[in-house]
Amino acid sequence: MNAAGSRTILITGVSKGLGRALAVELSKRGHTVIGCSRAQDKLNALQLELSNSDPNGSSSSSSSDRHLFLNADVRSNSSVEELARLVVEKKGVPDIIVNNAGTINRNNKIWEVPVEEFDTVIDTNVKGLANVLRHFIPLMLTNKQGIIVNMSSGWGRSGAALVAPYCASKWAVEGLSKSVAKELPEGMAVVALNPGVINTDMLASCFGNSAALYQTPEAWAFKAATMILNLTTADNGASLTV
Tell me the catalytic residues.
166
Distance CA 202, CA 182 (A): 31
Of 228, 231, 225, the C-alpha closest to 55 is 225
Of 193, 68, 83, 182, the C-alpha closest to 139 is 83
Distance CA 229, CA 13 (A): 19
Check: CB of residue 50 under 8 Å from CB of residue 24.
Answer: yes
User: For strand 146-151 and strand 8-12, is the pairing parallel, antiparallel, or unpaired?
Assistant: unpaired
* DSSP at 15: S
